[in-house]
C-alpha cells in the first residue's frame, strides 16, 4: 500500500520524499511544490520510517515560513508535530546559547541587542577609538562588521585579511565593539550564529549532545545561507550524513544580506555521496512564461542545470509596453488592470505590480488614487508617509506657512540638534500658558540676544542655542524660497540641515531612503515651470490631496504593490514588472560587476516566475532622475527573452499633455531644437528671453532662460516647453 504521504506527488517529488538516507540536495524550481515536498518528507520519516519527531530538526529563514511549516505538519502528523524542532537559524542558535553559553563565557541571561542598541555601541566604540563619523559612516562600519561575522572572522581576522583602508579602520572599531558587548553580557544577531559555531567547534561534549539528538537535518531556502549558517549545518551532521537541503540557485537574490550562492553550488563537493533531485515541473505558470524565464536565466553561468517545464497551457504572449515616461507607465498599468477587471473578470487581489526599488511605488500609488484603484503596499508604508519624505514635506510646509505647528514639532529635532523630549514638552507647555504658538516662542528666543526671557532660563544651554539656530535657518529658507524653485529649495534644505548625512549615519537602508528623496524631487520637478511662488503652493496642494487619503482601504481586495525582493515565494495570476531599464533593472550598482549582474538577472527571473497567467514587462522611454528627465536604455533582460514569446503594445506616440504641460505648450512631434548660451528665444507664455545656460550631458534636454519682463529666470525641459529661436 502506497503511503498517504506519497499520494498526489509526481515522480521526482516522490523520489525526494522517499530518499531518507544520506545527504540529499533538492533543487526546487519555482512553482514546483517545494513546501509540500519538505513537509511530506518529514511526515514520511515519522509515520513510515519510524523516526522520532524529537530527532528531526528543520530550519528555515523566517518566522512566517517556520509557522507555515508547523501548520502543515500539524495537519499531516497531528500532535506529533509538537515534538519536532522547526525553527529559524537565529532562534535555534539562541536556544543553544541559553543552554550552553557559559562554556564560552556567556551567561544564560544574555541580552540580544537590536539594531538601535548595536548602532549605539558602534558609535561609542568609534568615539573611543577616535574615528571621525563624517569620514567613516557608522552604517558602513556596521555592515563590514556584520559581513566579517558572517564569515566567522573576529577583529584580528578582519585586520589580517583587510582589503582596503576602511576595513582596517573597522577592525579597530570591531575590537572595542566586542569588548562593549561583553561588558553588557549581550550579543547581536550575527553573534547568535558566530558564537554557536564557536561553541560547537570548541566543546566536543556539547556538540555530541546535539549529534545524539538530531538524526535528520533539513534546511529550506538553502541558497540564502551564509558561511556561518552552512558551517553550523556541517557541524550538526554526523554519519550517515542525513542532511537534506532544499533550494534553487536561480532564486538566490540576497547577496546584500551576505548570502553565499557557493553553498548550494558546492554542496555535492562537500558531500560527495549526496543524491541530487531536481524538481523542475512547474505547476504555477503558463508554458510561455516558463519558456521566457528559462531563456532569461540561461544567460547566467553560476547555476545548476535545472530547466523548468510545465504541462500547463501555452497561455497568452507576454506583453511588452513602452510608455513615454514614469507617469504614463503608471497610468498604463492601472488602466490595463481596469481592463482586465472589466473584460476578463480578474479580481484586484489577483494583480501585483513589482519594481526594483521602493521609490518606484510613488507614481503607481498616485495612479491608483487617481483612478480609485484599491491597493496594498507590501513591506513598507505609503510613499508620502515614509519618514524621510514626511520630514522634507514638513520643512516645505513650515516655510510656506509659519503657523504650521505640526510641521514645526516634527522637525524640531530632525536631524538631531540637541532638542530633547523634555525641551519640546517645555516649549509646548509655555506656548499653551502664554496662549501663543511654538513658532512665536522661537521668534522671541531669536530676538532676545541676552536670553533673559521667561522661557530661556528654563532651557538647557545647548537646546536654547539649537532652537535659535533653527529659527534663523527657517527664516533663511523662507528668503531662499522667494528666489528659488521648489526643487532648488529641497536641495537647500538637504544641504543646510545635512539631512543626507543624517540618513546615512542612522539608517541601514539609507540607500533606499535617499532614493525616496530623489523621487520626491522628481515629483517636485513637474511644478518648477509655474513660477517661483506658485510651484511651492501647487506642490503642497498636490501632496495634501494624496496624503489626505491615508485611510484609503488597504483590504485584501486591493492590487499588490511590492518589490521584487519581497515577492519571492508569492504568486499572482497577473504580474506587472515595471522599470525594465538599464540602471533600474539591472540596478546601476550592479552593471559593472558580473556577479551582481547575475543576481539582478535572478531577481528578474524571480519576478517573472511569480506570474501564473498574464505577464506584463513595462518600461519608460524617458525617466526623471534627480530632478531632470532623460532618455533610458531598455533592460538587457528584455533582449534575452525570445521575441516569439512577446507581444508589443503600441509604444508611446506623444506624451499626454497634463495641466502643467498645457500652461507651457505641449510637446511637438518634431525633434527638440538645440540651443546655445546667448541665443535669443521666445516662449508663448513667458515671452522673449536669452539662454543663459544649457544642460549638462545628463540634462541635455534642459536650458535656463532669462526672460525679459516679469517672468524672470526659468529652467525649461525642451521636450515640453514650446521654445523657439528668434
Partnered with residue 691 across adjacent β-strands are: 705
Q: Please, are residues 566 and 379 in contact by the beta-carbon 8 Å criterion?
A: yes
Report whether pLDDT(170) > 60: yes
Report whether pLDDT(564) > 80: yes
CB neighbours (10 Å) of residue 321? Answer: 23
Q: List the catalytic residue out of 60, 170, 251, 613.
A: 251
Largest CA distance in the chain: 94
What's the gap between Cα 283 and its chain centre? 29
Instruction: Please indicate whether residue 365 is annotated as part of the active site.
Output: no
Report whether pLDDT(664) > 50: no
How many residues would you count in the chain? 726
What's the whole-number mean pLDDT along residues 342-363?
91
Confidence of residue 609 (pLDDT cuts 50, 70, 90): very high
What's the gap between Cα 442 and its chain centre? 38
Confidence of residue 133 (pLDDT cuts 50, 70, 90): confident
Angle at 706 between CA 701 and CA 709, to 5 degrees: 135
Query: SS3 breakdown of the chain: % helix, strand, coil, rounded to 5?
Result: 50, 15, 35
Hunting for cell 525553527 — which residue is that? 87
Which helix or strand (DSSP H or E) is residue 504 part of? helix 499-506
Closest CA to 603 of 619, 625, 579: 579
Distances (CA, A) of 404 to 222, 669, 691: 52, 45, 39
How large a percentage of the chain has pLDDT more than 90?
40
Which helix or strand (DSSP H or E) is residue 186 part of? strand 186-187
Three-class DSSP category at 590:
coil
338, three cell numbers: 481596469
Closest CA to 241 of 217, 213, 268, 277: 217
**Which range among 57-61, 126-130, 247-251, 431-435 shows the weakest confidence by mean pLDDT?**
431-435
What integer pLDDT is reported at residue 381 of this predicted model?
61
Report whether pLDDT(576) > 70: yes
Residue with the bigger pLDDT between 467 and 151: it is 151
What integer pLDDT is reported at residue 332 of this predicted model?
94
Q: List the catalytic residue out of 167, 188, 220, 598.
A: 220
CB neighbours (10 Å) of residue 450? Answer: 6
Report whether pLDDT(661) > 50: no
Closest CA to 236 of 288, 196, 289: 196
Distances (CA, A) of 43 to 59, 311, 455, 497, 696: 15, 28, 71, 59, 65
CB neighbours (10 Å) of residue 164? Answer: 9
**Which range among 2-6, 524-528, 530-534 shows the weakest confidence by mean pLDDT?**
530-534
Q: Please, are residues 434 and 455 in contact by the beta-carbon 8 Å criterion?
A: no
Q: Please, are residues 364 and 573 in contact by the beta-carbon 8 Å criterion?
A: no
Q: How far is it, in rounded angstroms, from Cα 470 to Cα 454?
A: 19
What integer pLDDT is reported at residue 634 of this predicted model?
92
What integer pLDDT is reported at residue 354 of this predicted model?
96
Report whether pLDDT(63) > 90: no
Q: Please, are residues 267 and 608 in contact by the beta-carbon 8 Å criterion?
A: no
Q: How far is it, in rounded angstroms, from Cα 279 to Cα 308?
A: 8
Q: Please, are residues 122 and 220 in contact by the beta-carbon 8 Å criterion?
A: no
Instruction: Please indicate whether residue 251 is annotated as part of the active site.
Output: yes
Which helix or strand (DSSP H or E) is residue 612 part of? strand 611-620
Q: List the catalytic residue out of 14, 34, 118, 149.
A: 34
Query: What is the residue-averaged pLDDT of the chain?
Result: 84
Q: What is the pTM of this model?
A: 0.69
β-pairing verdict for 622-625 and 611-620: unpaired
What integer pLDDT is reported at residue 445 of this predicted model?
78
Angle at 431 between CA 425 and CA 432, to 5 degrees: 90
Half-sphere exposure of 560 (CA within 13 A, CB side): 24
Report whether pLDDT(451) > 80: no
Confidence of residue 209 (pLDDT cuts 50, 70, 90): very high
Q: Cα-flanking dihedrals φ and ψ of residue 355, to 5°?
A: -150, 165
Q: How far is it, in rounded angstroms, from Cα 149 to Cα 166?
A: 16
Report whether pLDDT(151) > 90: yes
Q: List the catalytic residue out of 19, 35, 74, 437.
A: 35
Q: How far is it, in rounded angstroms, from Cα 447 to Cα 453?
A: 10
Report whether pLDDT(452) > 70: no
CB neighbours (10 Å) of residue 594? Answer: 12
What's the whole-number mean pLDDT along residues 162-176?
90
Please list, residue by residue across 282-313, b when 16 or more beta carbons sit within 10 angstroms of its beta carbon and e when fewer do. Answer: bebbbbbbbbbbbebbeebeebbebebebebe
Closest CA to 31 of 287, 307, 279: 279
Confidence of residue 657 (pLDDT cuts 50, 70, 90): very low
Instruction: Please indicate whether residue 34 is annotated as part of the active site.
Output: yes
Closest CA to 308 of 335, 278, 277, 333: 278
> Quick one: CA dihedral 397, 399, 405, 407, positive or negative?
positive
Report whether pLDDT(559) > 80: yes
Instruction: Please indicate whether residue 342 is annotated as part of the active site.
Output: no
What integer pLDDT is reported at residue 398 of this predicted model?
84
Each residue's pLDDT tens digit, 493-520: 999 999 999 998 888 888 888 888 888 8
β-pairing verdict for 680-683 and 687-694: antiparallel
What's the whole-number mean pLDDT along residues 523-527?
78
Three-class DSSP category at 170:
helix
Confidence of residue 548 (pLDDT cuts 50, 70, 90): very low
Distances (CA, A) of 349 to 106, 335, 368, 569: 49, 15, 14, 16
Which helix or strand (DSSP H or E) is residue 613 part of? strand 611-620
CB neighbours (10 Å) of residue 416? Answer: 11
Q: List the catalytic residue out of 178, 190, 221, 598.
A: 221
Residue with the bigger pLDDT between 423 and 173: it is 173
Each residue's pLDDT tens digit, 398-428: 887 777 767 787 888 889 888 888 888 888 7
Q: How far is it, in rounded angstroms, from Cα 234 to Cα 237?
A: 5
What's the gap between Cα 685 and its chain centre? 42
Three-class DSSP category at 312:
coil
Q: List the catalytic residue out of 410, 610, 622, 623.
A: 610
Residue with the bigger pLDDT between 244 and 400: it is 244
Q: How far is it, in rounded angstroms, from Cα 178 to Cα 129?
A: 13
Instruction: Please indicate whether residue 610 is annotated as part of the active site.
Output: yes
Residue with the bigger pLDDT between 566 and 23: it is 23
Amino acid at each position: 500500500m502506497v503511503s498517504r504521504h506519497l499520494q498526489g506527488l509526481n515522480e521526482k517529488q516522490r523520489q525526494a520524499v522517499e530518499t531518507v538516507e544520506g545527504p540529499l540536495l533538492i533543487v526546487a524550481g519555482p512553482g514546483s511544490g517545494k513546501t509540500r515536498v519538505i513537509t511530506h518528507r518529514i511526515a514520511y520519516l515519522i509515520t513510515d520510517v519510524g523516526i522520532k519527531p524529537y530527532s528531526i530538526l528543520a530550519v528555515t529563514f523566517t518566522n512566517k515560513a517556520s509557522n507555515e511549516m508547523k501548520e502543515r505538519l500539524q495537519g499531516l502528523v497531528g500532535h506529533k508535530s509538537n515534538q519536532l524542532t522547526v525553527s529559524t537559524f537565529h532562534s535555534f542558535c539562541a536556544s543553544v546559547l541559553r543552554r550552553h553559553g557559559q562554556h564560552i563565557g556567556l551567561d544564560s541571561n544574555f541580552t540580544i541587542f537590536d539594531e538601535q542598541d548595536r548602532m549605539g555601541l558602534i558609535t561609542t566604540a568609534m568615539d573611543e577609538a577616535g574615528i571621525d563619523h563624517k569620514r567613516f559612516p557608522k552604517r558602513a562600519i556596521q555592515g563590514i562588521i556584520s559581513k566579517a561575522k558572517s564569515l566567522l572572522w573576529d577583529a584580528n581576522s578582519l585586520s589580517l585579511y583587510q582589503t582596503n583602508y576602511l576595513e582596517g579602520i573597522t577592525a579597530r572599531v570591531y575590537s572595542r565593539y566586542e569588548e562593549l558587548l561583553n561588558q553588557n553580557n549581550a550579543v547581536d544577531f550575527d553573534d547568535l550564529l558566530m558564537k554557536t559555531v564557536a561553541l560547537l567547534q570548541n566543546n566536543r561534549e556539547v556538540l555530541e549532545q546535539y549529534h545524539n539528538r538530531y538524526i535528520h537535518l533539513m534546511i529550506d531556502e538553502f541558497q540564502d545561507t551564509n558561511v556561518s549558517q552552512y558551517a553550523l549545518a556541517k557541524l550538526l551532521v554526523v554519519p550517515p550524513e542525513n542532511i537534506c537541503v532544499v533550494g534553487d540557485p536561480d532564486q538566490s537574490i540576497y547577496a546584500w544580506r551576505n548570502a553565499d550562492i557557493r553553498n548550494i553550488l558546492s554542496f555535492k563537493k562537500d558531500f560527495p555521496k549526496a543524491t541530487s533531485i531536481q524538481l523542475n515541473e512547474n505547476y504555477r505558470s503558463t508554458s510561455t512564461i516558463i519558456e521566457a524565464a528559462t531563456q532569461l536565466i540561461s544567460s547566467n553561468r553560476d547555476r545548476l542545470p535545472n530547466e523548468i517545464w510545465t504541462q500547463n497551457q501555452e497561455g497568452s504572449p507576454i506583453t511588452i509596453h513602452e510608455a513615454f515616461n514614469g507617469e504614463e507607465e503608471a497610468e498604463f498599468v492601472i488602466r490595463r488592470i481596469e481592463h482586465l477587471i472589466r473584460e476578463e473578470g480578474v479580481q484586484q487581489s489577483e494583480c501585483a505590480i513589482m519594481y526594483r526599488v521602493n521609490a518606484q511605488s510613488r507614481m503607481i500609488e498616485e495612479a491608483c488614487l487617481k483612478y480609485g484603484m484599491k491597493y496594498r503596499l507590501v513591506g513598507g508604508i505609503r510613499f508620502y508617509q515614509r519618514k524621510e519624505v514626511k520630514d522634507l514635506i514638513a520643512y516645505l510646509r513650515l516655510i510656506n506657512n509659519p503657523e504650521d505647528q505640526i510641521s514645526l514639532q516634527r522637525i524640531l529635532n530632525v536631524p538631531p540638534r540637541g532638542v530633547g523630549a523634555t525641551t519640546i514638552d517645555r516649549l509646548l507647555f509655555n506656548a499653551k500658558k502664554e496662549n501663543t504658538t511654538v513658532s512665536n516662542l522661537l521668534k522671541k528666543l531669536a530676538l532676545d540676544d541676552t536670553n533673559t526671557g521667561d522661557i530661556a532660563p528654563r532651557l538647557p544651554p545647548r537646546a536654547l542655542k539649537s532652537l535659535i539656530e533653527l529659527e534663523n535657518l527657517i527664516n533663511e529658507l523662507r528668503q531662499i524660497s522667494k528666489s528659488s524653485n521648489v526643487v532648488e529649495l529641497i536641495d537647500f534644505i538637504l544641504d543646510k540641515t545635512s539631512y543626507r548625512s543624517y540618513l546615512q549615519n542612522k539608517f541601514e537602508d539609507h540607500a533606499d531612503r535617499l532614493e525616496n528623496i530623489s523621487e520626491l524631487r522628481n515629483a517636485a520637478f513637474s511644478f518648477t515651470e509655474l513660477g517661483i511662488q506658485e510651484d511651492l503652493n501647487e506642490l503642497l496642494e498636490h501632496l495634501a490631496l494624496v496624503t489626505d487619503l491615508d485611510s484609503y482601504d488597504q483590504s485584501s481586495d486591493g492590487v499588490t504593490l511590492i518589490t521584487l525582493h519581497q515577492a519571492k515565494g508569492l504568486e499572482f495570476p497577473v504580474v506587472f514588472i515595471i522599470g525594465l531599464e538599464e540602471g533600474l533593472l539591472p540596478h546601476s550598482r550592479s552593471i559593472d560587476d558580473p556577479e551582481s549582474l547575475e543576481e539582478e538577472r535572478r531577481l528578474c527571473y524571480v519576478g517573472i516566475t511569480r506570474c501564473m497567467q498574464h505577464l506584463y514587462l513595462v518600461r519608460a522611454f524617458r525617466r526623471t532622475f534627480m530632478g531632470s528627465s532623460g532618455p533610458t536604455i531598455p533592460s538587457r533582460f528584455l533582449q534575452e527573452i525570445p521575441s516569439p514569446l512577446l507581444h508589443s503594445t503600441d509604444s508611446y506616440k506623444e506624451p499626454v499633455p497634463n495641466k502643467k504641460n498645457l500652461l507651457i505648450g505641449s510637446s511637438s512631434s518634431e525633434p527638440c531644437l538645440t540651443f546655445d548660451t546667448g541665443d535669443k528665444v521666445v516662449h508663448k507664455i513667458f515671452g522673449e528671453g536669452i539662454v543663459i545656460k544649457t544642460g549638462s550631458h545628463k540634462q541635455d534636454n534642459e536650458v535656463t532662460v532669462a526672460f525679459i519682463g516679469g517672468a524672470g529666470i526659468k529652467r525649461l525641459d525642451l521636450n515640453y516647453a514650446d521654445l523657439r529661436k528668434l
